[in-house]
């Protein structure tokens, strides 16, 4: 609690300092640039961290060490990879749609950067407390499929085209269940704003308060976000044993790195959304009526709670990847349209009933 | 009423010669309609080395070494087939110790080969971790091979008249340790992959091959046995004392991907069973019959078949009495097993192409001799 308040004061101090020097409009412009730089730095730092974590976790699950040579315990490996990718040439295949080909990685990356905007990292540490935060994230994150389709279509490669088409079918269908899973919590909180949802969990996280419907929604959301991320067992878009690398087969160097970056950013964003909506975001573990316990929990800063929960969901997603085989495209669509979607629809009705009757804890 | 023929959006993709799931330089031409495979055509010859022709220029003891490079995961069995064919011509028999060593080595190779297959199948279906688990035990087998045979993959250990060297002193101890560990690990294999819902969904009922098709296409080994065809050479035409050990010919009548998967896992158990019977009873005595430096087979035709990890390997030698064979011909299991791919692929999804190729367990250098 103390830490988050002090962070809020820092941002306020910067704001008043800029306003005292510049015209309010100029100050606002500078703040926007600062916020943008902060988002990019944060995203890149998180992606680098995630690449390292994924490799180490994969190493652990596969009885090997993972990266060990670059830096202590391979800690600089991700940076070495970034350097390598920066130095590689960005190839463009002949007879490809050159503009679309070059534009696609930017579309994908920009989209994933945009989704991070309304997320609350701690009390007051939020770029834009928009009143439709959850809706904004679901709407913007679905744009990344356009980038993937652009990449696959413009590559002049049949593997890429197949991968892009798969990805289109996959992301568009799984978005339905993912959205319905979020609606459950939105109904119970009575707001679409991220900060509102976090505040609504001050006396207990939704996964505890909302019991059965929220647990179903949480499981559905984790499955659908894994599918939307194109990660195993739903990594059909880039299935290396069938399509060599799917939609990004033809991309090299930094263009590939941008796809990679956006995948990891999306992974972070969706984990953050799951942590915020179902596990209370930066809100410490509170139980209604236990003031002493709640006060004790408040000593752990909100940012620690937030990233702790995020990493828990990230760990789940990494765990899936290194244990499950890949589904086939018809099985993937069957899972969504025959199982997840009906379950989600019934769950929304169930949750609405529970919310109306006030039967949550 | 006449129905109009709708032009479908067919297109062709080439899988291979460099593709992560062809395991070698196989080129597969696929006609696709979206994700569905209309037809397929395998193209061979990207690794052709002319082993049969080269064998006709080398002595009888020399050309055996080339065969280790055909099905490199069954190097021992390939050597064994050639050695037995030559022994037939010379009318000698390997001493009892050598025969037991040959069987032990062949079964260890079968284990190592099936382990690699299991890991590669996981890899083909998108699960990376099983590959590392499979290599843990395979490494132990390769170490045993390295100690006794001097090499890890293309061993040249079995020779006409017996085996080249005696066993390493640690052989028995290490094999026993391996067997102990493998028994536990087969359970781990089950937990990691066999029992997985996705693997079952991906393999059950997919890639069906009927017993009639398997016979008419000339399939042998686990591929044919998974369709219910009794074809184990070790049972039908026992060699090197396989009739003295007790083991079952594993059969399954489903003929789908899962049947082939299950069958290889069961075969690993049978191999372990064979090794267990022999490892404490290796006879003492000489490990090789003394033969002349340059062997000459009497004029005639000699044929010997053995059961490799992938099926029946036949070696056909025509001798005109000179120090080189007049003609050498190999009947390799992978060539005929590959035939099964085309009928299986018709109407399948592109993702199943990978799992079918994986359960056929193709070794491409064995197809292109």
ipTM for the predicted complex: 0.78
B354 to chain A: which residues are within 8 Å by CB?
Answer: 241-242
How far is B60 from B123, CA to CA, in rounded Å? 40
Mean pLDDT of A265-280: 88
H or E segment at B32? strand B27-33
Return all residues near A90 (Cβ < 8 A) that are at least 6 apart: A251, A252, A253, A254, A255
What pLDDT, on a 0 to 100 scale, did the predictor assign at position B3?
Answer: 47
Return all residues near A333 (Cβ < 8 A) that are at least 6 apart: A169, A170, A173
Confidence class of residue A343 from pLDDT cuts 50, 70 and 90? Answer: very high
Return all residues near A113 (Cβ < 8 A) that are at least 6 apart: A39, A40, A43, A265
What pLDDT, on a 0 to 100 scale, did the predictor assign at position B316?
Answer: 92
DSSP classification of residue B315: E
Shortest Cα distance, chain A CAs vs residue B15, angstroms: 8
How far is A196 from A20, CA to CA, in rounded Å? 31
Closest among A135, A236, A139, A220 to A178, alpha carbons compared: A220
Closest among A191, A46, A39, A45 to A117, alpha carbons compared: A39
- DSSP result, A226-254: HHHTT-TTSGGGG-HHHHTTGGGTT--HH
What pLDDT, on a 0 to 100 scale, did the predictor assign at position A19?
Answer: 83
**Which residue in the block uniquely carries the two structure tokens 């959301």?**
A221
Q: What is the largest CA-CA distance in chain B?
A: 83
Whether A247 shows a pLDDT value over 80: the answer reads yes
| A162·B35 Cβ contact <8 A | yes
Q: Does B202 touch chain A (CB under 8 A)?
A: yes
A328, A329, A331: best to mutate for the B interface, most B CBs within 10 A:
A328
The beta strand positions in chain B, using DSSP E, are 10-15, 27-33, 36-43, 158-159, 162-163, 300-308, 311-319, 327-331
Closest among B12, B19, B353, B351 to A158, alpha carbons compared: B12
| B125·A242 Cβ contact <8 A | no
| B20·A61 Cβ contact <8 A | no
What pLDDT, on a 0 to 100 scale, did the predictor assign at position A128?
Answer: 76
Q: Does B190 touch chain A (CB under 8 A)?
A: no
Closest among B80, B72, B220 to B152, alpha carbons compared: B72
Backbone angles phi, psi at A246, to 5 degrees: 65, -135
How far is B49 from B298, CA to CA, in rounded Å? 28
Average pLDDT of chain A, as a whole number: 84
What pLDDT, on a 0 to 100 scale, did the predictor assign at position B8?
Answer: 61
What pLDDT, on a 0 to 100 scale, did the predictor assign at position A341?
Answer: 92
**Which residue in the block uniquely carries the two structure tokens 């495209």?**
A329
- DSSP result, B65-121: HHHTTTSGGGHHHHHHHHHHHHHHHHT----HHHHHHHHHHHHHHHHHHHHHHHHHH
Backbone angles phi, psi at A231, to 5 degrees: -110, 155
Number of helices (H) and strands (E), helices first, in chain A? Answer: 16, 2
What pLDDT, on a 0 to 100 scale, did the predictor assign at position B124?
Answer: 86
Mean pLDDT of A170-178: 88
In sequence order, the β-bridge partners of residue B162 are B159, B288
Q: Does B87 touch chain A (CB under 8 A)?
A: no
Q: Taking CA atoms, what residue in B is nearest to A324?
A: B127
Strand B311-319: give its sheet, edge to edge: B300-308, B311-319, B327-331
How far is A351 from A360, CA to CA, in rounded Å? 9
Q: Does B124 touch chain A (CB under 8 A)?
A: yes
How far is B304 from B312, CA to CA, in rounded Å? 10
Task: Report, as ranges of residue numbers, the positions in chain B whose pLDDT lies below 50.
Answer: 1-4, 6
With 0-12 / 13-18 / 19 or more C-beta atoms within 10 angstroms meaning exposed / middle / buried, residue A287 is middle
pTM flag (> 0.90): no
A326 to chain B: which residues are within 8 Å by CB?
Answer: 125-127, 198, 202, 351
Q: How far is CA A35 from the centre of its chain?
A: 19
Which string of b and e fits A154-183 if b means at least 16 CB within 10 Å? Answer: bbebbbbbbbbbbbbbbbebbbbbbbbbbb
Return all residues near A339 (Cβ < 8 A) that are at least 6 apart: none
B19 to chain A: which residues are within 8 Å by CB?
Answer: 244
| A62·B136 Cβ contact <8 A | no
Is B279:B100 a contact under the CB 8 Å cutoff? no
How far is B133 from B122, CA to CA, in rounded Å? 10
Is B120:B359 a contact under the CB 8 Å cutoff? no
Q: Does B129 touch chain A (CB under 8 A)?
A: yes
Total residue length of chain A: 361
Q: What is the largest CA-CA distance in chain A?
A: 68
pLDDT tens across A209-245, in order?
Answer: 878 888 999 999 999 988 888 887 888 777 777 787 8
Instruction: Count CA within 13 A, CB hemisphere, residue A320.
Output: 22
How far is B88 from B325, CA to CA, in rounded Å? 14
Residue A30, token pair as written in the block? 């500078």
B196 to chain A: which residues are within 8 Å by CB?
Answer: 324-325
Is A206:A277 a contact under the CB 8 Å cutoff? yes
Residue A17, token pair as written in the block? 């300092």
Q: Between B123, B133, B192, which is nearest A241 by CB?
A: B123
Whether A5 shows a pLDDT value over 60: the answer reads no
How far is B321 from B295, CA to CA, in rounded Å? 10
Strand B36-43: give its sheet, edge to edge: B10-15, B27-33, B36-43
A158 to chain B: which residues are within 8 Å by CB?
Answer: 11, 13
With 0-12 / 13-18 / 19 or more C-beta atoms within 10 angstroms meaning exposed / middle / buried, residue B316 is middle
H or E segment at A191? none
Residue A119, token pair as written in the block? 């997320």
How far is B49 from B69, CA to CA, in rounded Å? 10
Shortest Cα distance, chain B CAs vs residue A39, angstroms: 33
Residue A347, token pair as written in the block? 């769950």
Closest among B118, B349, B190, B131 to A332, alpha carbons compared: B349
Q: Does B127 touch chain A (CB under 8 A)?
A: yes
H or E segment at A237? none
Shortest Cα distance, chain A CAs vs residue B13, angstroms: 7
DSSP classification of residue B8: P
| A62·B132 Cβ contact <8 A | yes
Closest among B290, B289, B282, B365 to B69, alpha carbons compared: B365
Q: Between A63, A242, A329, which is nearest B354 by CB?
A: A242
| B198·A233 Cβ contact <8 A | yes
Handedness of CA B156, B161, B165, B169 (dihedral sign): positive
**Which residue in the block uniquely carries the two structure tokens 């790195």?**
A257
Mean pLDDT of A158-172: 86
Is A266:A229 a contact under the CB 8 Å cutoff? yes
DSSP classification of residue B49: -
What pLDDT, on a 0 to 100 scale, did the predictor assign at position A7?
Answer: 64
Closest among A119, A122, A132, A110 to A9, alpha carbons compared: A122
- Residue B291, helix vs strand vs coil: coil
What pLDDT, on a 0 to 100 scale, did the predictor assign at position B293?
Answer: 81
Q: Taking CA atoms, what residue in B is nearest to A62?
A: B129
| B193·A162 Cβ contact <8 A | no
How many of the other CB atoms lie within 10 Å of CB of B338?
Answer: 23
What pLDDT, on a 0 to 100 scale, did the predictor assign at position B360?
Answer: 87
What pLDDT, on a 0 to 100 scale, did the predictor assign at position A344?
Answer: 92
Q: Taking CA atoms, what residue in A is nearest to B131?
A: A62
Shortest Cα distance, chain A CAs vs residue B326, angstroms: 43
How far is B35 from B348, CA to CA, in rounded Å? 8
């Amino acid at each position: 609690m103390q830490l988050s308040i002090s962070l809020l004061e820092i941002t306020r101090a910067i704001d008043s300092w800029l306003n005292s020097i510049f015209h309010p409009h100029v100050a606002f412009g500078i703040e926007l640039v600062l916020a943008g730089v902060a988002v990019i730095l944060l995203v890149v730092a998180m992606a680098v961290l995630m690449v390292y974590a994924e490799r180490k976790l994969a190493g652990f699950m596969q009885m090997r060490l993972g990266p060990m040579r670059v830096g202590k315990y391979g800690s600089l490996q991700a940076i070495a990879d970034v350097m390598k990718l920066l130095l590689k040439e960005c190839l463009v295949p002949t007879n490809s749609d050159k503009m679309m080909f070059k534009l696609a990685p930017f579309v994908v990356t920009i989209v994933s950067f945009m989704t991070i905007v309304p997320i609350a990292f701690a009390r007051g540490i939020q770029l834009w407390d928009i009143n439709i935060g959850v809706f904004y994230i679901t709407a913007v994150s679905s744009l990344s499929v356009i980038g993937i389709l652009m990449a696959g279509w413009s590559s002049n490669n049949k593997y890429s085209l197949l991968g892009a088409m798969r990805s289109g079918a996959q992301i568009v269908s799984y978005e339905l269940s993912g959205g319905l899973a979020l609606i459950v919590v939105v109904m119970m909180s009575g707001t679409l704003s991220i900060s509102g949802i976090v505040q609504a969990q001050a006396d207990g996280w939704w996964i505890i308060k909302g019991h059965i419907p929220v647990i179903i929604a949480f499981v559905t959301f984790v499955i659908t976000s894994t599918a939307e991320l194109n990660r195993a067992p739903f990594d059909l878009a880039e299935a290396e044993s069938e399509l060599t690398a799917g939609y990004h087969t033809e991309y090299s160097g930094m263009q590939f790195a941008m796809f990679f970056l956006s995948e990891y950013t999306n992974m972070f964003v969706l984990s953050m959304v799951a942590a915020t909506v179902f596990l209370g975001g930066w809100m410490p573990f509170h139980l209604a009526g236990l003031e002493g316990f709640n006060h004790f929990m408040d000593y752990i800063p909100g940012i620690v709670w937030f990233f702790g929960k995020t990493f828990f969901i990230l760990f789940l997603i990494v765990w899936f990847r290194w244990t499950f085989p890949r589904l086939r495209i018809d099985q993937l669509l069957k899972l969504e349209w025959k199982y997840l979607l009906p379950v989600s629809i019934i769950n929304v009705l169930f949750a609405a009933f529970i919310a109306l009757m006030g039967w949550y804890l | 009423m006449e129905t109009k023929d709708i032009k479908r959006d067919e297109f062709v993709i080439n899988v291979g010669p460099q593709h992560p799931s062809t395991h070698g330089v196989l080129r597969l031409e696929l006609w696709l309609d979206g994700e569905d495979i209309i037809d397929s055509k395998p193209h061979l010859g990207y690794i052709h080395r002319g082993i049969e022709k080269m064998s006709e220029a080398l002595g009888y003891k020399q050309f055996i070494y080339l065969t280790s490079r055909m099905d490199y995961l069954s190097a021992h069995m390939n050597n064994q087939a050639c050695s037995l064919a030559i022994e037939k011509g010379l009318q000698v028999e390997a001493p009892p110790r050598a025969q037991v060593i040959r069987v032990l080595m062949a079964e260890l190779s079968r284990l190592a080969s099936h382990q690699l297959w299991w890991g590669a199948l996981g890899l083909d279906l998108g699960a990376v971790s099983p590959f590392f688990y499979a290599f843990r035990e395979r490494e132990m087998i390769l170490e045993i091979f390295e100690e006794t045979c001097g090499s890890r993959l293309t061993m040249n250990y079995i020779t006409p008249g017996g085996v080249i060297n005696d066993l390493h002193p640690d052989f028995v101890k290490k094999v026993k340790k391996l067997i102990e560990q493998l028994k536990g690990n087969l359970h781990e294999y089950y937990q990691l992959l066999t029992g997985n819902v996705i693997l079952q969904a991906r393999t059950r009922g997919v890639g069906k091959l009927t017993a009639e098709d398997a016979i008419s296409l000339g399939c042998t080994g686990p591929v044919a046995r998974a369709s219910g065809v009794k074809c184990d050479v070790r049972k039908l035409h026992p060699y090197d004392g396989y009739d003295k050990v007790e083991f079952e010919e594993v059969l399954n009548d489903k003929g789908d991907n899962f049947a082939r998967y299950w069958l290889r896992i069961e075969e690993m158990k049978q191999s372990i069973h064979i090794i267990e019977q022999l490892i404490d009873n290796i006879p003492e005595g000489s490990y090789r019959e003394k033969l002349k430096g340059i062997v000459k087979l009497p004029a005639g035709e000699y044929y010997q078949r053995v059961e490799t990890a992938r099926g029946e390997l036949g070696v056909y030698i025509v001798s005109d009495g000179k120090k080189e064979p007049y003609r050498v011909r190999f009947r390799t299991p992978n060539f005929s097993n590959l035939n099964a791919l085309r009928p299986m692929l018709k109407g399948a999804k592109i993702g199943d192409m990978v799992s079918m190729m994986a359960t056929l367990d193709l070794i491409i250098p064995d197809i292109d001799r």
